[in-house]
Amino acid sequence: MLRVAVVGSGPSGVYAAQTLVQQREVPGVRVDVLDRLPAPYGLVRYGVAPDHEKIKSLQGNLRTVLEDERIRFLGNVEVGGDRLPTERMLELYHAVVYCVGAARDRLLGIPGEELAGVRSATAFVAWYSGHPDAAGEDFDLSRVRSAVVVGAGNVAVDVTRMLARGEPELAPTDMPQPALGVLAGSGVRSVSMVARRGPSQGKFTTKELRELGTLPGVAVRVDPAELAIDPAYAGGPAAAAALPAVARRNLEVLRGWAEQDPGPAGGAGRRIALRFHLRPVELLGGPDGRVTGVRFERTAPDGRGGVTGTGVYEDVEAQLVLRSVGYRGVPLPGLPFDPATATVPHAAGRVVRAGRASVGEYVAGWIKRGPTGVIGTNRPCAKETASSLLQDAGSLARRDLPGDPLEALRAAGLRPVEWPGWLAIEAAEAELGHSLGRHSVKIPDWPGLLGAAAGTADRPPGDGVPVAGD
């Protein structure tokens, strides 16, 4: 038997586990999928926006894999800490595949980042997704009229959309009750999503961009003058034809908005402004230490795909600024880390230590290739890693292991949440939703999740704040 640990139960981890058990060359592979959280599915549960139900339904596919009899889910197990260092993992398993993602946000590196009201999109996403590490976050939107989102990727589009949506669209989601209450009471009237480069260089995908124009009661604005700065737009159809298909389609969508009269904002009275060629240079604050706006410098194309400053500045009012400028990998103690790329050095998925492939250690997903691509991108990425592992299987399997790793984890003081524990969390979330007159609603904190997993959840209906301890 080849006993493998996959660390991380997001898409890359689950796809790696699936590839390992479903292949035929190496029989008898058994996989433990470990996760620091008591709940599986990684960013599909805690990153995909709650209103994106179709993408969220991928959880069903991941569930089928985790229910395979050759795979065992063990949540609430932190690898790389004192109790379970990476060296110990190599004693307990023949091979370990790290699929730990890229957990940290990136800073803008401009003055004013410490002002109250300047937050990362990552924190906002974690908060409305009910990530238990975000239980201490609070977002007071009641006094926010204007919000600025810095960045032009799909996360920026997600948070812009969530700020613009009304309660009727959010209530059917699994968003935690406290977050729903805050968004329902939001005073936000305008959201500006601001890109430092041009409209043909947005990182968002067309489907996500187009969706902004479908939000009930929300008017989308694009300034034709900002489109005109982009050579691919100003050059007309011939220049646009040379663009990659996604950029070409994005430009068409933006052109449509620029050409239409947005009219007054609809029922919710909200507007989204998509701004281009503005780079943030300073976050402006009031005497109370709260952000009041963002100073941008107008940029111009430099002819090489980048931009240069023009010395012309524009201040945009904001009581909330979300920086949405990408994720960053975090070093896992015991694993090598390249700070320049914020990834683990690897060769075809084999972890590289001091220039050599480390025996039995592998990576897949964002910690391997950086925070890029959509969920499906993880499939070929995980397959490459799994096939490297399977090539090494002959020599890896020769080593005797001490026995069932679960016993060793328990002996180390860990309290793994197994699949029935996760099912109990799911049942508790369904019950919580029922008590609130909603569909399933996420339990947003550690005591609540662990209490539900242990079958001891005890919560007053209505507030969504669990009281049960572990």
Give CA–CA dist 244/196, Å, rounded. Answer: 19
Shortest distance, position 307 Cβ to ligand NAP, whole Å: 8
Binding mask 158-197 for ligand NAP (x = CB under 6 A): x------------------------------------xxx
Shortest distance, position 108 Cβ to ligand NAP, whole Å: 5
Dihedrals phi, psi of 133, to nearest 5 degrees: -70, -15
Going through 276-355 in order, the beta strands assigned E by DSSP cover 278-285, 291-301, 307-317, 320-323, 327-328, 346-347, 350-353
Question: What strands, in cross-sheet order, belong to the sheet with 291-301?
Answer: 278-285, 291-301, 307-317
Give CA–CA dist 152/146, Å, rounded. Answer: 18
How many CB atoms are closer than 10 A to CB 84?
A: 22
Q: Does 153 bind ligand NAP (CB under 6 A)?
A: yes
Which of 14, 33, 61 is closest to 416 using CA atoms?
33
Q: Which stretch binds ligand NAP (CB under 6 A): 60-68, 309-317, 318-326, 334-342?
A: 318-326
Give CA–CA dist 341/326, Å, rounded. Answer: 12
Shortest distance, position 111 Cβ to ligand NAP, whole Å: 13
Shortest distance, position 285 Cβ to ligand NAP, whole Å: 19
Q: Does 260 bind ligand NAP (CB under 6 A)?
A: no
Q: Which stretch binds ligand NAP (CB under 6 A): 69-77, 203-211, 258-266, 409-417?
A: 203-211
Residue 366 tokens, joined: 């964002």
Going through 338-434 in order, the beta strands assigned E by DSSP cover 346-347, 350-353, 356-363
Interface residue with ligand NAP, options 10, 280, 301, 345 (CB under 6 A): 280
Shortest distance, position 198 Cβ to ligand NAP, whole Å: 9
Q: Which stretch binds ligand NAP (CB under 6 A): 231-239, 261-269, 324-332, 394-402?
A: 324-332
Q: Does 247 bind ligand NAP (CB under 6 A)?
A: no
Handedness of CA 203, 207, 211, 213 (dihedral sign): positive
Interface residue with ligand NAP, options 156, 209, 386, 449 (CB under 6 A): 156
CB nearer to ligand NAP: give 74 or 121: 121
Interface residue with ligand NAP, options 286, 373, 376, 461 (CB under 6 A): 373
CB nearer to ligand NAP: give 28 or 306: 306
Q: Does 151 bind ligand NAP (CB under 6 A)?
A: yes
- Check residue 143 and report its DSSP letter: T
Q: Is there a contact between 233 and 255 (Cβ–Cβ < 8 Å)?
A: yes
Give CA–CA dist 354/208, Å, rounded. Answer: 41
Q: Does 152 bind ligand NAP (CB under 6 A)?
A: yes
Interface residue with ligand NAP, options 265, 325, 332, 417 (CB under 6 A): 325
CB nearer to ligand NAP: give 108 or 449: 108
CB nearer to ligand NAP: give 150 or 175: 150
Q: Does 316 bind ligand NAP (CB under 6 A)?
A: no
Residue carrying structure tokens 């977002």: 139
Q: Does 101 bind ligand NAP (CB under 6 A)?
A: no
Residues 6+ apart with CB under 8 A from 198: 229, 230, 231, 232, 233, 276, 277, 301, 307
- Per DSSP, the three-state class of 132 is helix
State which residue has the least CB distance to ligand NAP. 153
Interface residue with ligand NAP, options 203, 248, 290, 415 (CB under 6 A): 203
Interface residue with ligand NAP, options 147, 150, 272, 381 (CB under 6 A): 150
Give CA–CA dist 1/434, Å, rounded. Answer: 44
Q: Does 73 bind ligand NAP (CB under 6 A)?
A: no
Residues of this chain that interact with ligand NAP (CB under 6 A) are 108, 150-156, 158, 195-197, 201, 203, 205, 208, 279-280, 324-327, 371-374
